[in-house]
Structure 1
């Protein structure tokens, strides 16, 4: 679908919602995926400046997650331009995407809409080495650390202090104490960010409800890849979920499907398939910010070469440039 045809879907959603729509897609295509990151802030700002202040702004969001600090900046930026901010979730909005949703006044979720837990894994210089790659570090899951300590506490019986001391010393032998400190700092950061985002809502929930929501999203789902349906988000976690009517849901899914098709989200990127000769240059779009006012893409540019000597038939892929580019 061309941009002019996709604009008709964007305009139809805006008319139905009486809002202005900005689409933010972080591609999860194999080998060329993107994540929520600080560099999108200026891109979003460009679209907001073109839209100017609006009574309602909707963010159409598809993402597997990313940097956990960026949602706080993005939500506050959007709220500079509107009194009513909503997120439309056509399909996946995990981790940092869920944090963005927490800062909205309502979350419009279709039947395929999914949120996720907000308990990240953290990596720093003190994390354990990856046995398969000594140059890399193994991520440490925040909830794995706290679950281990909770298990020790549960099994300690009348020897709580003694067993907890031994359990922590054993953990510190396997994971550097500064890495454990980083885990705790990120645990507190996530809870603080989630709480602050929830308080940005037009009708913020009570403190007890905020604690319940944060507990559910950080501790009570037990698996980071747990997929939260709209019914669970609404009835169990008690987020401000809105179910679109059939007409709006159809528009939302068609818009997502068009982005997915254009970005080939369901097809692994295999540069070797592009080779007709010894060398070819390529560009692939792996992220989009689009509104009725413009279009920006995150583009990977690179070169694919087939080596004939000494390793005949070997294919080398070199990414020479990556970043945001204004297309319209």
Structure 2
């Protein structure tokens, strides 16, 4: 069994299909189905399943550069399945597609979180299935106090918002209490309420780490800046107004699920359900992509040019060779026919001259 059969088939499946079909003929194998779909797909399809980190972004760029020029399409589709990762690597990957192709689309059939969503900002169109899920762009920052733990870049902003709202509520309730129940004037009530609120909230605000807060704000700015740059490549036509701002600050948690309807109604202008050859490919390959994602923690991501992986370029070269061979054969046969006609004409000319001379003599 070849590597692509291993990639596609789960344990115990037969790569050649079920020979007990009603027609008595074995249906096409999953590999054959994928090859037919890839031949019908008017785009180059790339598969990326796993974390988005350096140097894997460079590996993807190498795969893009290795597409044969004679078979390269004007459109690239990135089938992306990821928990997220480095925004720097995500930006590099998206820009590589923007530079190498006239059109860049992203296909999402499962999780495409955090930095994966950042890549989507650079696409002119999204293909999303019912199980597709994007995520907010709140960049994760390493927690220096806990090994291996990361914190959302939204944490400080959410904390300050909560403190501000709580402070205003305390100030309001104290002011009303002192003004109407304490018999104080408006000015006195406001002064007492302000001092009391400050004393109550100071133990909380005193725990804020200004340097840490600056680190988080800077991390969030990275996401916004990369998002703005990627979307401007195609004029921002695929983004609704304030989409980047909403992705960086508009969701309450890093794991918030952004489904197809949310993406279409709130964030992106061009979101479609995959159809045709692409839908066929999703039906066959989707499970393999998801399996690799769930087991990819600590391992390298799966990165493929689908047409190269399934030998499509070799098939195209063979087809081109067969056509050229057929053309050569037809040309030789045509030359042979012309030669036979010429010989026949030349051999018939002396006979005609002899007949003419005999007619004159008689």
Please state which band the TM-score falls in when normalised by the shorter chain: 0.5 to 0.7
- The answer on 1:252 being equivalent to 2:268 is no
**Aligned counterpart in structure 2 of residue 143 of structure 1, from 146, 149, 154:** 154
Note the alpha carbon deviations across 1:205-254, whole angstroms, 9 max, x for none. Answer: 399x44x2123212222121111111111022234211123763342142
Provide the TM-score with structure 2 as the length reference. 0.62
Rate the CA distance shift 1:244–1:116 in 2: closer, same or farther, 3 A. Answer: same
Aligned counterpart, 2:265: 235
- How much does 1:82 deviate? 0.5
**Aligned counterpart in structure 2 of residue 192 of structure 1, from 208, 225, 239:** 225
Aligned counterpart, 2:119: 100
**Aligned counterpart in structure 1 of residue 248 of structure 2, from 218, 228, 244:** 218
- The 2-side partners of 1:65 and 1:25 are apart by 10
Rate the CA distance shift 1:217–1:111 in 2: closer, same or farther, 3 A. Answer: same
Report the structure, 1 or 2, having the larger strand content: 1
- The 2-side partners of 1:266 and 1:152 are apart by 38
- The 1-side partners of 2:199 and 2:48 are apart by 47
- How much does 1:167 deviate? 6.2
Q: Secondary structure at the match of 1:228?
A: coil
- How much does 1:63 deviate? 0.5
- The 1-side partners of 2:153 and 2:225 are apart by 15
Q: Secondary structure at the match of 2:256?
A: coil
- The 2-side partners of 1:152 and 1:288 are apart by 44
**Aligned counterpart in structure 2 of residue 204 of structure 1, from 217, 233, 236:** 236
- The 2-side partners of 1:224 and 1:249 are apart by 29
Alignment RMSD (CA, Å): 3.4
- How much does 1:41 deviate? 2.5
- The answer on 1:37 being equivalent to 2:56 is no
Tell whether the 8 Å contact from 1:117 to 1:221 is kept in structure 2 after alignment. Answer: yes
- The answer on 1:173 being equivalent to 2:207 is yes
Aligned counterpart, 2:96: 77
- The 2-side partners of 1:111 and 1:234 are apart by 12
Rate the CA distance shift 1:164–1:114 in 2: closer, same or farther, 3 A. Answer: farther
Rate the CA distance shift 1:257–1:139 in 2: closer, same or farther, 3 A. Answer: closer
Aligned counterpart, 2:45: 21
**Aligned counterpart in structure 2 of residue 287 of structure 1, from 301, 304, 307:** 301
Aligned counterpart, 2:165: 154
- The 2-side partners of 1:150 and 1:169 are apart by 16
Note the alpha carbon deviations across 1:27-50, whole angstroms, 9 max, x for none. Answer: xxxxxxxx2112012211221122
- The 2-side partners of 1:253 and 1:123 are apart by 37
- The 2-side partners of 1:189 and 1:164 are apart by 34
- How much does 1:14 deviate? 3.8
Rate the CA distance shift 1:267–1:205 in 2: closer, same or farther, 3 A. Answer: closer
- How much does 1:23 deviate? 0.7
- How much does 1:90 deviate? 1.6
- How much does 1:116 deviate? 0.8
Rate the CA distance shift 1:180–1:20 in 2: closer, same or farther, 3 A. Answer: same
Tell whether the 8 Å contact from 1:149 to 1:164 is kept in structure 2 after alignment. Answer: no
- How much does 1:180 deviate? 1.5
Report the structure, 1 or 2, having the larger helix content: 2
- How much does 1:12 deviate? 4.3
* Bigger radius of gyration: 2
Tell whether the 8 Å contact from 1:92 to 1:113 is kept in structure 2 after alignment. Answer: yes
Rate the CA distance shift 1:13–1:177 in 2: closer, same or farther, 3 A. Answer: farther
- The 1-side partners of 2:117 and 2:199 are apart by 35
